[in-house]
Amino acid sequence: MKSKDRLPDKKSKVTVREVALLAQVSETTVSRIMRKEGSVANETRERVMNAVRELGYVPNRLAGSLASLNTNLVGVLVPSLQNIVFPEVLRGIQAGLSGSHMQAVTSVTDYDFATEESMVRGLLAWNPAAVLVTGLNHNEATSRMLRQSSGRVVEMMEVDSEPIDVAVGMFHRSAGYETARYLLQKGYRHFGYVAHDIGPDRRARLRHEGMAQALSEAGLGFIAESRAETPSSIGIGKVMTARLLERAPDVKVAIYSNDDMAVGGVFHCMEAGLSIGSDLSIFGFNGLEIGRHLPQPLSTMRSNRFLIGKTAIEQILQSPERPAEPVRIDTGFEIVEGATA
């Protein structure tokens, strides 16, 4: 053993008690100093801080939070980390959190309501200051727990229906509607739809509904739809595009459930020797970085994912209390005019 014997013993835990003893003050004073709250004589503070350093004291938040009846925890539930969308929401959350003393606890539901329920239960057990969940749909038990929980509840990504406390996101139905309107105005008449498994993805379904409505108002509809039974990926986007064109070779523009799928469509066309924009036009959803850098920039609809995460945190930082009426914050969406549609 080469370590100096003066190092704190790893066995014996150091608590406020040890620090107080060493610094010759009360535990309260130590606590006050650690929390940077109340006023303390400079001389005392230094004595205590020296003891803290000497002992390598780290306050136990379990005890602190239990005593003060409030944690600095924010529980976060996202459905997936498979594509870059939710990591970007998480980045927004981290950005919003930085500077605050809050800490995020993240779990992944895999788009499954039962999993969501057990994770919400697990999160609430920590008495978080807030819980951020994805979407406005949950099962009965989850909704009840969230409604009854003492902290704030933010439902992220969509504002299409009424939230429990506050919702931050966009209107997916409108996004779908505007997508179809945009393409109709560009003169397209032969529409196809390519999607991942949107069964568990209510927001993708809402967008599809909006598109269908706009088309129907124009006396049109999708000539063909090609839906996978797996989560979205570039690979499955390629496969589903091939399938769409086999089934309906006269499709002139394909709307995709999201950018990952759309990029797959772009790659399919490149390989099949199809000219994108004339043989087949492509429109995505999300506005991911990759779309901007494709040889022909992807036409798509930007969702403001980072902003959603950041705004969600700003909301809960603003007030520890729920508003009298549920609030919806629309982070909007914009058409990204690319070269593929």
Select from 10-18, 72-80, 100-108, 281-289 the region that touches DNA (CB under 7 A): 10-18
- State which residue, 1 or 125, has the beta carbon closest to DNA: 125
> What residues numbered 68-97 form the site for a copy of itself, per CB under 8 A?
71, 81-84, 86-88, 90-91, 94
144 contact, one of DNA, a copy of itself, none, CB 5-8 Å limit per kind = a copy of itself
By CB under 8 A, residue 248 contacts a copy of itself: no
> What residues numbered 30-69 form the site for DNA, per CB under 7 A?
31-32, 34-35, 37-41, 43-45, 59-60, 63-64, 66-69
- Coil, strand or helix: which one is 316? helix
CA 72 and chain centroid, separation: 19
Sign, CA torsion 300/304/305/308: negative
> Residues 306, 297: contact at Cβ < 8 Å?
no
Cβ 76 to a copy of itself shortest distance, Å: 9
Cβ 56 to DNA shortest distance, Å: 12
40 contact, one of a copy of itself, DNA, none, CB 5-8 Å limit per kind = DNA
15 contact, one of a copy of itself, DNA, none, CB 5-8 Å limit per kind = DNA
By CB under 8 A, residue 234 contacts a copy of itself: yes
By CB under 7 A, residue 101 contacts DNA: no
- Coil, strand or helix: which one is 284? coil
By CB under 7 A, residue 211 contacts DNA: no
By CB under 8 A, residue 35 contacts a copy of itself: no
- State which residue, 21 or 239, has the beta carbon closest to DNA: 21
By CB under 7 A, residue 319 contacts DNA: no
- State which residue, 8 or 221, has the beta carbon closest to a copy of itself: 8
**C-alpha–C-alpha distance, residues 134 and 79, integer Å:** 7
The pair of structure tokens assigned to 173 is 């139905």
> What residues numbered 251-280 form the site for a copy of itself, per CB under 8 A?
263-264, 267, 270-271
- The alpha helices in the chain, defined as continuous H runs, are 16-23, 27-34, 42-55, 61-68, 85-97, 113-124, 140-148, 172-185, 202-217, 234-247, 259-272, 289-293, 305-318
Q: CB-based contacts of 128: which residues, under 8 Å, 6+ apart? A: 71, 73, 74, 75, 105, 151
- State which residue, 10 or 293, has the beta carbon closest to DNA: 10
319 contact, one of DNA, a copy of itself, none, CB 5-8 Å limit per kind = none
30, 257, 276 from 203: Cα distances, Å: 50, 10, 27
326 contact, one of DNA, a copy of itself, none, CB 5-8 Å limit per kind = none
* Tokens 């429109």 sit on residue: 283
By CB under 7 A, residue 197 contacts DNA: no
CA 238 and chain centroid, separation: 26
Select from 13-21, 94-102, 161-169, 219-227 the region that touches DNA (CB under 7 A): 13-21
- Coil, strand or helix: which one is 266? helix
DSSP 72-110: -EEEEEES--SSSHHHHHHHHHHHHHBTBS-EEEEEE-T
Of 341, 313, 30, the C-alpha closest to 183 is 341
* Tokens 């350093």 sit on residue: 53
Q: Which residues bind a copy of itself (CB under 8 A)?
A: 8, 10, 13, 56, 58-63, 65-66, 71, 81-84, 86-88, 90-91, 94, 103-108, 121-122, 124-127, 144-145, 147-148, 150, 233-235, 238, 263-264, 267, 270-271, 289-290, 292-295
- Which residues are near DNA by CB under 7 A? 13, 15-17, 24-29, 31-32, 34-35, 37-41, 43-45, 59-60, 63-64, 66-69
